[in-house]
């Protein structure tokens, strides 16, 4: 099956710093999503981005499908950005399962 | 606003007992998914359900698991005889919007003792 790897596995930032999270996948994908898992365990949708670039406030994402990677940019980080960031991909068909990456655990300190 | 809600938020059960986890859609959805996340690990796919039938399942989804939509609205995941290793957060998800973006419910934390 497809392999989805995220880096770095852990990241500690001071408030106000910028960061880039990376998601590599081993096969072609139809769909790619980024999620933020907050400290209460909820999975919050950030981006649906099978290709191209999107921005939402301080967050933006870019997927280069031909090179099998996606990047999540966090600018001016805040303590509320802390949590685990997952990318997830859908390999075949439409509306099929998501395969999740291993996640990046982000801690933003004051 | 979430597309689905889940009940209960936390369930504690003894090994060997049956549990039923419920997923309640906010609006009419055709696609449903169950995923689980063992503490500290990544989220894993269990099963997908479309138009009242299982469309895809993983190797985790063995004979101990079943899904159904008993009343046309709620969507349930049943574990017949729980094991310690079934302790995890269980997420229900559905599709929403004009594309194939999956949205997750808040999860049910299952603890098997």
Looking at residues B83-87, what average pLDDT do you find? 97
Look at A19-28, A75-84, B63-72 and tell me which has the smallest mean pLDDT: B63-72
pLDDT of residue B84: 97
Average pLDDT over residues A71-82: 97
Confidence of residue B2 (pLDDT cuts 50, 70, 90): low
Please tell me the predicted confidence (pLDDT) of residue B51.
80
* Residue B73 pLDDT: 78
pLDDT of residue B65: 96
CA atoms within 13 A on the CB side of B101: 17
A98/chain B closest Cα distance in angstroms: 7
Nearest chain A alpha carbon to B109: A41
A42 inside 8 A of chain B by CB: yes
Residue A16's alpha-carbon distances to A11, A44, A76, A108, B35, in angstroms, are: 14, 22, 4, 9, 34
C-alpha distance from A83 to closest chain B C-alpha (Å): 12
Distance CA B89, CA B46 (A): 12
CB pairs under 8 A between A and B: 55
Kindly tell me if the per-residue pLDDT of B64 is higher than 80: yes
Query: Given an 8 Å threshold on Cβ–Cβ distance, is B104 in contact with A35?
Result: yes
Closest residue in B to A4 (Cα–Cα):
B42
pLDDT of residue A69: 98
Instruction: Check whether A46 has a pLDDT greater than 90.
Output: yes
Report, as an integer, the average pLDDT of A11-39: 96
Name the β-bridge partners of A21.
A72
Averaged pLDDT, B14-23 = 97
As given in the structure block, the two tokens for residue A93 are: 């068909």
Q: Tell me the per-residue pLDDT of A49-58, one tens digit each, with 9 for 90 and over.
A: 999 999 999 9
For residue B97, is pLDDT > 80?
no
């Amino acid at each position: 099956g497809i392999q989805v790897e995220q880096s770095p596995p852990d990241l500690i930032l001071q408030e106000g710093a910028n960061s880039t999270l990376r998601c590599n996948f081993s096969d072609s994908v139809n769909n790619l999503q980024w999620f933020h898992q907050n400290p209460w365990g909820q999975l919050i949708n950030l981006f649906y981005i099978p290709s191209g670039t999107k921005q939402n406030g301080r967050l933006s994402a870019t997927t280069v499908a031909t090179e099998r990677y996606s990047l999540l940019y966090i600018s001016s980080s805040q303590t509320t950005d802390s949590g685990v960031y997952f990318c997830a991909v859908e390999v075949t068909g439409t509306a099929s399962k998501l395969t999740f990456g291993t996640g990046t655990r982000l801690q933003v300190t004051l | 606003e979430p597309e689905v809600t889940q009940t209960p938020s936390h369930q504690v059960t003894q090994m060997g007992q049956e549990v039923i986890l419920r997923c309640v859609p906010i609006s009419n959805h055709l696609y449903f998914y169950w995923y689980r996340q063992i503490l500290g690990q990544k989220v894993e796919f269990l099963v997908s359900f479309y138009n009242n039938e299982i469309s895809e399942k993983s190797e985790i989804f063995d004979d101990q698991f079943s899904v159904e939509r008993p009343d046309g609205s709620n969507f349930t995941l049943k574990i017949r005889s729980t094991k310690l290793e079934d302790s995890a957060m269980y997420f229900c998800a559905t599709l929403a919007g004009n594309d194939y973006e999956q949205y997750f419910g808040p999860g049910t934390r299952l603890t098997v003792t």
